[in-house]
Chain A
């Protein structure tokens, strides 16, 4: 009959009205300045640079490879390589950025930079209170502003950070094993060399047998030096493909 639907509707809204006073879970509003919404792991705002240990300069994972700079769709990243190299977590000498700027007024928060980074250095942050009084200068974040410690990264993205830390620990372990194997191989080679020298020309055939022996070791260690996990390796071939026609143009806004 006409009018029954109207009464049903009124009952429904009335139930919501009464329910909002008795069931606090109905009210999803967060009273912002006093309380914050609980952030979830997959949320992202702007990029950050993860560093290991305490010192942002020493532990910075970034190697200034500029893949993120090339990949960034709005071109908000600006990198200048340093002339001085520094050792990475495996002790290998790597490049480091002298300047690493991100213009967060241009950044669109897509997260492509974090996806392509093969060194697990650039990751998406969850900060959201980024307003400033200054329209230009304060929105251009420099290296020291972007650098965030690994413990902070562990706090905001525990799952991903734990995975990365485990991979890196495994890499270090493998590198140690490899170094040990190398040392042993070197010692053996040295011993062989000394015996060869002692044996003279007659042992030339034996040397050719001994020589390939250290050779497989670096070949096996080759994937070890790449600390990347599977998805990153998948993304790796992409840097060259979507290269923009004018990669050098408007690098710095």
Chain B
């Protein structure tokens, strides 16, 4: 029974595919998997938008959307995404007269397509990887960085100064944060010894101390540091506040989205949120043990529930930080990436190497020595780099033309 609950979607897929004649089976299988991914993550996208609005409201001591009714039934605003979708669909699609029409049309499609493709390599449960690639991590990051092109297409084709400024900011930000993002995953690859995400998750199976402490990478010093770096870089990659400079409303209207309306805008919006979901799922897969339960005693709960539960927790953390932190300045943004996150990620590589070569320290005493040594090795660069970011050492900013 537990086995069945865990594998219910796999069994369902096999049963559905078995209904059609042999030559069509692979195609039907692909179609079903694509439909499932788009349905589930589309639903999560809708849930994330309403959760974000509700939580932001509550944090600011407001109600958030709470009025929408369907067929006279009160829903406490929970079907707001449906209303938003209908609104977006029936709005006029405005294309600026001076815009490069083809590129303007293609940009939202180019943005959303690669983001959906990243879900192919993510293991969403036991035996639930759509496309178990050997170089899954490579595929993920290749697809994830393809969105930068779309952002620049949108900014350039709109023929609008705000759009262009926004897309230039976005490019500067995304390229800067791509580096720590990828560098922070390298320790995982080193220690797991594979580029396949399925095997990365397998490497995090098993429990210590009688089944209470999981073997997740976040519970190691290098994994914890890597997880934080990944979290921050991913926040910047998905243009989330406090790194939402490309869309800073108070400065450049809506950045590269300024000239988009109607469903094209909705596609950008979807791309942003689905990108956030993808990066959260990647964080869960790399550092939070993927679909593994946090305790041996909790393994009876299906693996896919753990995967989606952890992903939702990471998304809630994103929403929480959006409500908390103000937008940072562009120079602060780049300084934070190049002077703090990148050196820290490089130091983390050293820590991971030390961890790898001290693998033989198996007795409890030596294991704790190994743990503390690695913690020390990452904590020292953290404190030193943190001091270098201190503003007191910088000379006061001079404004030559703003007197």
Residues of A within 8 A of B (CB): 1-3, 6, 9-10, 12-14, 16-17, 19-21, 26-29
**13 residue pairs bridging A and B, Cβ less than 8 Å apart:** A2-B385, A2-B386, A13-B59, A13-B323, A16-B58, A16-B59, A16-B61, A17-B55, A17-B58, A17-B320, A17-B323, A20-B59, A27-B61
Complex Cα spacing A46 to B256, Å: 44
Residue of B nearest to A18 (CB): B58
Q: Which residue of A lies closest to B317 (CB)?
A: A10
Let me know if B63 is at the binding interface, CB within 8 A.
yes
- Docked pose: A242 CA to B64 CA in angstroms: 49
Question: Residue on A with the closest CB to B325?
Answer: A9
CB-contacts of B29-82 with A (<8 A): 55, 58-63
**Could you tell me if B383 and A2 are in contact, using CB atoms closer than 8 angstroms?**
yes
Most B C-beta atoms less than 10 A away, residue of A10, A13, A26: A13
Nearest chain A residue, comparing its CB with the CB of B67? A31
**CB–CB A6/B61 < 8 A:** no
Q: For window 114-139 of chain B, which residues contact chain A by CB distance below 8 Å?
A: none
Residue pair B58, A21 in contact (C-beta under 8 Å) = yes
Across the interface, which residues of A come within 8 angstroms of B60, CB to CB? Answer: 16
Inside 8 A of B62's CB, which chain A residues have their CB?
A: 27, 29
- Closest approach, in angstroms, between the C-beta of A136 and any C-beta of chain B? 30
Please state if A9 and B59 are interface contacts (CB–CB under 8 Å). Answer: no
B321 at the binding interface (Cβ < 8 Å): yes
Task: Indicate if the CB atoms of A10 and B320 lie closer than 8 Å.
Answer: yes
Picked from A2, A9, A12, A26, the residue with its CB within 8 Å of the CB of B61 is A26
Question: For A12, what are the chain B residues with a Cβ–Cβ distance below 8 Å?
Answer: 324
B residues lining the A interface (CB < 8 Å): 55, 58-63, 320-321, 323-325, 382-383, 385-387, 389
**Which of A3, A16, A17, A20 makes the CB contact (< 8 A) with B386?**
A3
Q: Are B61 and A20 in contact (CB under 8 A)?
A: yes
- Which applies to chain A's interface (DSSP): helix, strand, loop or mixed? helix
Check if A1 sits within 8 Å of B58, measured CB to CB: no
Residues of chain B with a CB closer than 8 A to A28's CB: 61
The answer to whether A9 and B324 touch across the interface, beta carbons within 8 angstroms, is yes
Instruction: Tell me whether B58 and A20 are in contact (CB under 8 A).
Output: yes
Which residue of A is nearest B228, CB measured?
A: A3
Chain B min CB distance to A21 (Å): 7
Q: A1-B383, A16-B61, A19-B61 provided; 7 other pairs, C-beta below 8 A?
A: A2-B387, A10-B324, A13-B59, A14-B59, A16-B58, A20-B61, A27-B61
With A1-B383, A1-B386, A2-B383 known to touch, is A17 a contact of B324 (CB < 8 Å)?
Answer: no
For B390, the closest partner residue in chain A by CB is: A2
Q: Tell me the bound Cα distance from A20 to B386 in angstroms.
A: 34
Cα of A12 to Cα of B321 in the assembled complex, Å: 11
Please give me the residue from chain B that is nearest to A3 by CB atom.
B386
Q: A10-B320, A14-B320, A21-B58 are in contact. Are A27 and B325 (CB under 8 A)?
A: no
Question: Chain B residues near A19 (CB, 8 Å)?
Answer: 61
Interface pairs A-B: 9 shortest CB-CB: A2-B386, A13-B324, A20-B58, A26-B61, A9-B324, A17-B59, A13-B59, A17-B58, A16-B59
> Which residues of chain A come closer than 8 Å to B58, judged between CB atoms?
16-17, 20-21
Q: Contacting A2 at CB < 8 Å: which of B55, B323, B389?
A: B389
Q: Which A residue's beta carbon lies closest to that of B379?
A: A1
Given contacts A1-B383, A2-B383, A6-B325, contact A13 B61 (CB under 8 A): no
- Smallest CB–CB gap between B235 and chain A, Å? 12
B63 and A27 within 8 A (CB): yes
Chain B min CB distance to A240 (Å): 47
Give the chain A neighbours of B325 by CB distance below 8 A. Answer: 6, 9
Minimum CB distance partner of B55 in chain A: A17
Would you give the shortest CB distance from B221 to chain A, in whole angstroms? 16
In the bound assembly, the distance between CA atoms of A20 and B60 in angstroms comes to 9
